[in-house]
Amino acid sequence: MKILEDIESVDRRGFMAYMSALGLGGTVFPGVLWAKMQARGEITSETVADAGAVAGLDFTDAERDAMLAGLNSNLEAYEALRAVRVSNHVTPAIQFDPALPGRDLPSETRPFRFTRHIGLRRPEDPETLAFMPVTQLSELIRSRQLSSTELTTLYLERLERHGPTLEAVITLMSDRALEHAARADREIANGAYRGPLHGIPWGAKDLLAVEGFRTTWGATPYQDQVIGEDATVVRRLEEAGAILVAKLTLGALAQGDVWYGGRTRNPWNLEQGSSGSSAGSAASTAAGLVGFAIGSETLGSILSPSTRCGVTGLRPTYGRVSRSGAMALSWSMDKLGPIARSVEDCALVFNAIHGADGRDPTARDAPFNWDSGRPLSDLRIGYFRRGFDSERATGHDRAALETLRSLGVAPVPIDLPSDYPLDALRIILRAEAAAAFDELTLSGRDDLLVRQTAGAWPNSFRVARMIPAVEYIQANRVRTMLMGALEAALEGIDVFITPTRAPDQLLMTNLTGHPAVVVPSGFNDDGTPVSTVFVGQLWADAETLRVAKAWQDATDFHTRRPPLFG
């Protein structure tokens, strides 16, 4: 069946209404179907046969004839639905819950204990300040050796100087940031210290709404978009006293590192992209342009750029952080989390942003019992045997496992389920993403996006409209089975270590909603970073971070600076 690749005069809206009436949709235009629609103006037995072939279905003549009335009736229903404007922030009336039926959320709350660097002295070199972790910067601000205004000015200057080189900044928020920093200094001087994020400058992936500022989603069709509210994460960080200094780049509509203004660069090698989609968040943190940043992950968008840029990232358990005010890509897979220069920095940020807000129906309340000194002997730790045995495993991966063992840990081997069609489950993300940007496709404004390859969003959205609704539901039923199989595989384990590139782990754990912490674990021969990942049980974000922190404290990879920026 021929695919038309260059159609300038297509009535896209009409053709897609026709395709959706078949339960297929699409702007990957099968020429036969388009010609028959043009000729007849309604759905016929012949067009049903051709459409069935696209969906992998085969109906008899009698079955096709019987379908016609319903399909033509559906067409009217679809046209009525498309007359209703549905904004990106409207969630479907169906929700994903990572917890299987009968599983209770943890409820015990214990004191929050983080590392305090009492007696820390301020370094002379401002470049050293720029790369210090939040745990240390917060002590300098608390002890009033460093003002928030001074630190904010330092980061704003670095953002202005290095942002263009990295192509990592969309909006610099200088006036707002300095105003908020001055307020933080007054509060601290008056004894109203809010905690370890008070006065710390940070950057937001530009899919988070900030009232009065553009929220571009990294995409040309939205580069002038202003959303009249603050995202919950932005509001919570402001309540913690953190200072938002910039909105940072993301690959257009949260894919890759190419946005409407260029390609965000890896600070360790400017010839490379920073990976994505939390491209600017990872690059800016690595280059010492912000104290920390917020990223998002649907399928690798925190772990991948953190790996490329040599920083630490937390992908929280699905549902632990409200996505209200954030661009929706996949309602059942999107997660927001911190990108920072240390594991404990991630813990401090996560403590400020987690929990339900009454706006994101998937956001849940569960205690975050962070204790930086909790003994590893309290935790049951495993390693992904098949991942370490895989041909993808490297010497860095094996060294990371040995480092864990050097801490007195005897990790037990575990294996993830291997008999599920994981790649087939990608249709869940594709279908939800196509729905989230349905208006963009129907209007034809998807042509404005910079990337127009077969794997880029414009084409993916069109292809996704041919996913039958039944197959989307079936994929989610298989997903439920996968969740049960993974639960069984992890029985008796709190946290496991895995190579970042191990087979299946990234897609599987994003589908099931498990938390993950990525940490830098070495460097390639060309000087670019590599990473290791720790994955935890659902809701075990604190335990996952604790094991990752113990491992990170035994190494120094996270303390190294990109030579061009440090």
Q: How far is CA 104 from CA 358, 365, 539, in A?
A: 20, 12, 10
The identity of residue 451, as a single letter, is: R
Contacts of 482 (CB under 8 A, 6+ apart): 417, 420, 422, 425, 508, 511, 512
Contacts of 440 (CB under 8 A, 6+ apart): 221, 446, 461
335 is catalytic: no
Please, what is the Cα angle at 504 between 499 and 506, to 5 degrees? 65
Contact (CB, 8 A) for 96 and 332: yes
Catalytic-labelled residue, pool 36, 205, 247, 335? 205
Alpha carbons 243 and 237: distance in angstroms, whole number = 8
Pairing between β-strand 335-340 and β-strand 312-315 as defined by DSSP bridges: antiparallel
Please, what is the Cα angle at 442 between 95 and 82, to 5 degrees? 60
The identity of residue 103, as a single letter, is: R
Q: Omega of the bond prior to 277 within 30 degrees of 0, cis?
A: yes
296 is catalytic: no
Residue 506 β-bridge partners:
none
Pairing between β-strand 265-266 and β-strand 269-273 as defined by DSSP bridges: antiparallel
Alpha carbons 442 and 14: distance in angstroms, whole number = 9
Print the SS3 string covering 430-466: HHHHHHHCHHHHHHCHHHHCCCCCCCCHHHHHHHHCC
Contact (CB, 8 A) for 236 and 212: no
Alpha carbons 262 and 216: distance in angstroms, whole number = 14
Catalytic-labelled residue, pool 277, 330, 460, 531? 277
205 is catalytic: yes
Q: What are the structure tokens assigned to 433, written together?
A: 């993403």
User: How many helical (H) and strand (E) elements, i.e. helices and strands, does the chain have?
Assistant: 20, 17
DSSP class of 402: H
Q: Which residue in 256, 273, 348, 263 sits closest to 309, CA to CA?
A: 273
DSSP string, 49-97: HHHHHHTT----HHHHHHHHHHHHHHHHHHHHHHTS---TTPPPS----
Q: How far is CA 545 from CA 83, 277, 302, 517, in A?
A: 47, 22, 15, 7
Q: How far is CA 376 from CA 136, 333, 343, 495, 515, in A?
A: 24, 30, 15, 11, 18
- What's the number of CA atoms in the CB half-sphere (13 Å) around residue 120? 22
Catalytic-labelled residue, pool 147, 301, 372, 521? 301
- What's the number of CA atoms in the CB half-sphere (13 Å) around residue 27? 27
Contact (CB, 8 A) for 330 and 432: yes
Catalytic residue numbers, as ranges: 205, 277, 301
